[in-house]
């Protein structure tokens, strides 16, 4: 089995890659930056038995995604799982958020997922595979200062549900995972000891492994996942 994970250089994507590699799945990770992707792949290669490759591909660039899919097929011969994970967040009230921040958020978190799936959908249909998007609880709850992020994640939840209906008769499962707080580098955060209460990236990796193992008849298409306890003050 082979998986392509967008944004695998750190955070949630890295955690999902590690979990899949441990299960013997071959993994291609992407990042905007070849060096960051290579460094992550060097670390991830220690977790095997699956094999890992690193590809520089900005999800805002459709040609880069087509190249990433081609490289994955060339290296591993098949593509069974797409995890559309790459994402960014800009948080500011509407009086302050800039058009550039709006576009970076929508182009990465929403259009980037469309490009990722569009580039890989034929391979996923051939493999009767799985498309998993990493949305957010911000895809169903709205927050002040989150207009761009909310719009991108509400859109992503709708997109994933719509393509689920397009693809299920072709044998491709589609799920969106909507996490609450995760200990990652999101929004320039540096993971630290105070993050112990948060969901850890490998917890979401385990969730992806569980989805792939699920009975073929069963499709949890929209999964909300939150920390089981709130932060202790």
Ligand X SMILES: NC(=O)c1ccc[n+]([C@@H]2O[C@H](COP(=O)([O-])OP(=O)(O)OC[C@H]3O[C@@H](n4cnc5c(N)ncnc54)[C@H](OP(=O)(O)O)[C@@H]3O)[C@@H](O)[C@H]2O)c1
Q: Report how far residue 65's alpha carbon sits from residue 37's, in angstroms, rounded to the nearest whole number.
A: 15
Q: How many secondary structure helices (H) and strands (E) does the chain include?
A: 7, 7
Q: Tell me whether residue 50 or residue 179 sits nearer to ligand X (CB atom).
A: 179
Active-site entry in 14, 115, 130, 149: 149
Here's the x/- map for ligand X, 121-160, by CB under 6 A: it reads as: -------------x-x------------------------
Q: Looking at 33, 75, 98, 221, which residue binds ligand X (CB under 6 A)?
A: 33
Centroid of chain to Cα 167:
19
> DSSP assignment, residue 111?
I
The residues, any chain, with a CB within 8 Å of residue 33's CB and separated by 6 or more, are 9, 56
From the list 42-50, 87-95, 165-173, 212-220, the region that binds ligand X by CB under 6 A is 87-95
Residue 13 CA: distances (Å) to CA of 10, 93, 106, 122, 230: 6, 28, 19, 23, 23
> DSSP assignment, residue 170?
G
The structure tokens 């112990």 sit at 196
Residue 27 β-bridge partners? 3, 52
Q: CB 215 → ligand X: shortest distance, Å?
A: 27
**For ligand X, how many residues bind (rule: CB under 6 A)?**
32
Q: Tell me whether residue 34 or residue 126 sits nearer to ligand X (CB atom).
A: 34
Q: CB 128 → ligand X: shortest distance, Å?
A: 26
Q: Tell me whether residue 114 or residue 186 sits nearer to ligand X (CB atom).
A: 186
The residue at minimum Cβ distance from ligand X is 87
From the list 16-24, 56-64, 74-82, 159-167, the region that binds ligand X by CB under 6 A is 56-64
Q: CB 171 → ligand X: shortest distance, Å?
A: 26
Q: Report how far residue 131's alpha carbon sits from residue 101's, in angstroms, rounded to the nearest whole number.
A: 27
Centroid of chain to Cα 66:
17
Q: Tell me whether residue 112 or residue 129 sits nearer to ligand X (CB atom).
A: 112
Q: Is 185 in the site for ligand X (CB under 6 A)?
A: yes
Q: Looking at 4, 12, 146, 164, which residue binds ligand X (CB under 6 A)?
A: 12
Q: Is 13 in the site for ligand X (CB under 6 A)?
A: yes
Q: Is 72 in the site for ligand X (CB under 6 A)?
A: no
Among this protein's residues, is 149 annotated catalytic?
Answer: yes
Q: Report how far residue 145's alpha carbon sits from residue 171's, in angstroms, rounded to the nearest whole number.
A: 39
The structure tokens 């569980």 sit at 210
**Residues known to be catalytic:** 149
């Amino acid at each position: 089995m082979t998986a392509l994970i967008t944004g695998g250089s750190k955070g949630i994507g890295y955690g999902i890659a590690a979990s899949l590699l441990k299960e013997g799945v071959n993994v291609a990770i992407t990042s905007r930056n070849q060096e960051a992707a290579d460094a992550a792949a060097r670390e991830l290669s220690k977790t095997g038995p699956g094999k890992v490759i690193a590809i520089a591909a900005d999800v805002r660039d459709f040609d880069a995604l087509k190249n990433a899919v081609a490289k994955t097929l060339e290296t591993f011969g098949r593509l069974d799982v797409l995890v559309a994970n790459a994402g960014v967040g800009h948080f500011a009230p509407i009086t302050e958020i800039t058009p550039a921040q709006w576009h970076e958020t929508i182009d990465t978190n929403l259009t980037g997922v469309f490009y990722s799936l569009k580039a890989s959908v034929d391979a996923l249909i051939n493999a009767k595979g799985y498309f998993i998007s990493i949305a957010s609880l911000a895809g169903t709850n709205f927050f002040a200062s989150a207009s761009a992020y909310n719009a991108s994640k509400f859109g992503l939840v709708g997109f994933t549900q719509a393509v689920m209906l397009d693809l299920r008769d072709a044998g491709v499962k589609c799920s969106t995972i909507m996490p609450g707080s995760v200990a990652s580098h999101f929004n320039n955060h540096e993971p630290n000891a105070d993050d112990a209460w948060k969901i850890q990236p490998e917890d979401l990796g385990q969730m992806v492994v569980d989805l792939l193992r699920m009975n073929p008849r069963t499709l949890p298409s929209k999964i909300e996942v939150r920390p089981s306890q709130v932060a202790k003050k």
